Structure formats: structure tokens, C-alpha cells
Structure 1
Amino acid sequence: MTLLLNQQPRYLQLAQTLIHEIRDGRYAVGDFLPTEFDLCEQFGASRFTVREAVKRLVQMGLVDRQPGVGTRVLAREAVSGYQQVMRQLSDLQQYTADTELEIFARDLVEVDETLAPVLRAGTGESWLHLSALRRSGGEPEPICVSDIYIHPAFRALEGIESSSHVPIYTLIEAQFGEHIAAVQQEIRATLITPAQARWLNVKPKSAALWICRRYLNRREEIVEAAISIHPADRFSYSETFQRDWRAAS
């Protein structure tokens, strides 16, 4: 059994140990870390401690968790900011669980000509609007500032807390019987506005990623749309495309 002797929380101790082992080459890029059970046995740690430690490595961009497959090493050194790895909708749910949404404003907005194409809504419609910051772990600065828009049919949504790890769309599903069938994501480069800069503590006109996610029901109607602005040095996005060998043969 490997002992962890430190005053830090045990999950941080374990995370630091795994980071050193990856840097030292014990686990090369492409290798899989030991299973959750094996890590518990090796370090005498609980499943919660192991999961939190691995979550920390995921946030640093060092490893990628794949349900039913394992935890694969992606890099020897941590990437800057938060790295989001996307393969399926459950990865988006994991992103929400790994980060914290802090809502600082709630109001109704009337859709104008600028917002209409983003929401695919008619001008004059009144949508519920949430302004929020999203934070990762113990990082001092937010990874993004977000504007979340909820369709007029769900403006009476309850249970929206000022700080949450629960996806907004799951509240809509639970309270209104709606079902999210797909999420459309659009990404482009942008410059941070003065108002966004104040919330993010960066300089105006800094480089950023503009990410819009549209949550669609089975009728392909937008139930929720979230527009997030990520400073360039605080967020990276990773997506894996697998070849369809049957189509290629």
C-alpha cells in the first residue's frame, strides 16, 4: 500500500501523486490508469477520494474518463485552464457536475433582432434570462460568463439555486415532463466586451471562445440556450472522432 502523508485533503494528495507518476513516465500518454478499485487498494483510499482525484486530473487535461473503457492518459503536463472532453451527452452532464454555476441575475428579456436568430425565436417573445459565472474546482477566476435563455413555456421554472452543479435542462425535464433529445453546439472566436471583462477579470477585447449550446426537444424546438464566453487561457475543448470502419470497407 502506498501511503499519503500530507496536510492537504486526501483527494488532492492522491491527485498530486498521480500527476508525478504521469510526469515521471510510469503512465505514458495513451496508457490507462489503474481501475478505481485498484487505486483504492493501492492507496488505502475511499472510492470518493479516488473519484475526486481523477476528476482533478480530468480538469487539468491530463486524463480522459470513458465509461466502460477506463481512464486514459492524454498528456504529461497540464493544459492551461479547464479542458472539456466531449463524446456524448453524458460528457456534457459530467462537465456540469465537475464545475459550479453561480447565478448572479435573473430577469425576463424580450427577444430582439440580434437575439432572434440565436434562439430561433420570434422578435417580441419574452424568455427567462439567467446571468451566471461558471467555476472549476478551487480556481480563483471563473472559466466563463454565461447568458442562459429559457423558452417562455418554462418561465415558471423553480429550484434554480444561486450556486449549483445541476444542469438547468434537467430541472425543466423534471418539472414540465419535457425531454431533451439533442444538444446543438456552435463555437467561434470572439473578443470580450467591457462588461464581460469586469466579471471575468480580464482586459476588454481579450481573445475568447464563444460557445452556444441549444437544448432541443423531440420536436427540435429550443427549450434552453446557453451562450458562454471563455477567456482563451482558461478553457480548451477536446473532441474525438472515431472512424466508421464499416462505411470505409
Structure 2
Amino acid sequence: MQSAMTHAQEAGGRARVSNSSRADISMVTVLSQQPRYMQLAQTLVNEIQSGRYPVGSTIPTEFELCEQFGASRSTVREAVKQLVQLGMVVRQPGVGTTVKALKAEGAYRQVMQQLSDLQRYTADTVLQILSTRTEALDDPAICDMLRANAGETWLHVTSIRRSQGSPDPICHTDAYIHPAFRSLRIDEGELHTPLFTMIERQFGEQIAEVQQEIRAVALSARIAKLVNAKPQSPALWVCRRYLNRRGDVVEGAINIHPADRYTYLETFQRGWNPA
């Protein structure tokens, strides 16, 4: 289901892709060039899974990895942090970074710092389309979310998303595509590709900004049944609006995640002012 990068390759900023192995951080050819730290993280994942660094052993120090990869310390630190976030390694003061597991923890953990992380999220998971239909908007809340007028005809795509590490769906999604793009073709071979990327490819549109809102909700009986969870159990409601350069909403999506299957991680850094 997923392709894994087997080597970080500097020439041309591209990577060779192998179907013979799988990793919990997937780099696929549909994505643009990935940050260097993600390429190094992929290599370390592959080396752990190949047995080079068995469970219980320590991986090289940051200094040693900098030397091996010819990379800066900040790049190496970010790469190792990805493995920590996946639950594959643990950092221990005075001991080093110890391999904890050969694969990521069961619940999906999304790290969000830039738009490419949304692309990686869809590359790491698979979309299962439940229905696609054009419909006239009549729900005031949906119209408000989409900045649309009642009666406009948008493409409504209903789906569930699955992660390799979880037997049950990790979320249910209602996506709404602007009327200008409602003829969007969703091919079976593109279910690791974000809908907004499909829009960009098929219509020459460009997403310039993503607005995101998160809140806690209780699962409705309908969605609980689709994701195999208990009705009224806790869930995370994530709404995203994808805007073009003119500020128009190209796509709006409401994702509902059962609380025990999804972790959202965001990193904030202090902006230091020079003395």
C-alpha cells in the first residue's frame, strides 16, 4: 500500500523508491522535493527496520550522524525528532537515542509545520471514497465554512482514511470542492494524493494558504458506525479551508478523528531578538 524511500539521494533532490520494503514515513513520487531532514529520517527508519540498529541498541550520536550524512546539526536533530514522534526511538540523557520499536505506534501521529506535511499525511495513509456527488448547499454552517452562498452546487466527497498501523479508520472526512472544480476526477491510483493536489494538477489552480480549526466533539452515531467506534465517544474535529492566491476557498474539509487513533503535534519556537 505504501512505498518507502530506501536511500536519501542528493543529486536532483530526488529519491529512488522501492516496493520491496515499507516504512512508517513514506516518500512517494507524487510529492515535490522533501526537506532534507525528512530524507535522513527515512534513511534511519529503513536502517532500523533492516536490523542495522536492533531494538535496544543506540543509534549514532548527533555529531556522528552529522559526519555520516554531511548535514548540519539542526537537520540531524529534526530527523531524529521524527523517529521520536513515531515512537520508534527514545532519547535518554547520558545514554543516547535508543531504538524502542521497529514500526510506529498504532495511533496515527501527524506533525504539522508546513503545507508539505499535509501531503505527507495523505502519502502515509490511504483514502477510501464512500461517495461523490454534486449538491446544492443548504446548511448555513457549511456555507459559512466554505464562504459560499446557499444554492451553490459544490462537489461533496465523503470518505474514510486508514493508516497502516491501525486496523480501524483513523478519520471520517466530508470534503467540499468549489463549483469551478466540481468535475474533479478521483482515480483509484491517486488515493495517496491530497484532493487539493488533484485540483492543482487537473485545473492549474494553486493553493496558497490552508486555514485550520480544531475542537473536541462527540462522535455521532452515523460516523461512529463508519469508523467502528462507540457513539458519543470523544473525537477530534479538524476543519481545513484551502485557499488560492485570491483568497477564494477551493476546498473545505471536515475531518473527524476518534480520540484514541490520532495525535496532532505542532512545534513552536521562540523568536529570539538579538541583544
Q: Report if TM-score (shorter chain) is over 0.5.
A: yes
Structure 2, unpaired ranges of 5+: 1-19, 24-45, 70-79, 90-96
| Aligned match of 2:227 | 200
In structure 2, which of residues 200, 204, 212 is the aligned counterpart of residue 177 of structure 1? 204
Whether 2:47 is the aligned partner of 1:20: answer: no
Q: Which runs of 5+ in 1 are unaligned?
A: 1-8, 40-53, 64-72
Find out whether 1:92 has 2:115 as its counterpart.
no
Shift of 1:138: 4.8
The residue aligned with 1:188 is 215
| Partner SS state of residue 55, structure 2 | helix
- Measure how far apart 1:226 and its partner are: 1.2
- Cα distance in structure 2, aligned partners of 1:85 and 1:33: 25
Query: What RMSD over aligned residues (CA atoms) do the two structures have, in Å?
Result: 3.4
Q: Structure 2: how far apart are the matches of 1:158 and 1:140?
A: 28
Which residue is equivalent to 1:151?
Answer: 178
Maintained 8 Å contact 2:218/2:235: yes
> Cα offset for 1:27?
4.7
Give the structure 2 partner of residue 217 of structure 1: 244
Aligned in 2, Cα 1:104/1:178: closer, same or farther, shift over 3 Å?
A: same
Does the residue aligned with 2:184 lie in a helix, a strand or coil? coil
**Among 119, 126, 132, which residue is 1:106 paired with?**
132
Q: 5 Å matches for 1:125-164?
A: 125-161=152-188, 164=191
Number of residue pairs aligned between Structure 1 and Structure 2: 211
C-alpha displacement of 1:104? 1.4
Q: Distance in 2 between matches of 1:226 and 1:107?
A: 15
The alpha-carbon distance between structure 1 residues 200 and 245, as it changes in their structure 2 partners (threshold 3 A), is same
Counterparts of 1:163 and 1:177, CA distance in 2: 17
Q: Name 1:5's counterpart in structure 2.
A: none
Q: Tell me the secondary structure at the aligned position of residue 197 of structure 2.
A: helix
How far did 1:59 drift? 7.8
* 12-21 vs 196-205, which moves further: 12-21
After TM superposition, the score normalised by the length of structure 2 is 0.66
Q: Which amino acid in the other structure matches residue 121 of structure 2?
A: Y
Contact 1:180 1:217 in 2 (8 A): yes
Preserved CA contact (<8 Å) 1:147 1:227: yes
Change (3 A) 1:111 1:244: same
1:137-158 residue CA offsets vs partner (Å, 9 max, x unmatched):
1521111011111001100112
Aligned partner of 2:256: which letter? Answer: I
CA contact 2:87–2:100 (8 Å) conserved in 1? no
- C-alpha distance in 2, partners of 1:131/1:106? 6
Asked if the contact 1:104/1:162 (under 8 Å) is kept, the reply is no
**Helix, strand or coil at the partner of 1:245:** coil
Give 1:106's aligned amino acid.
T
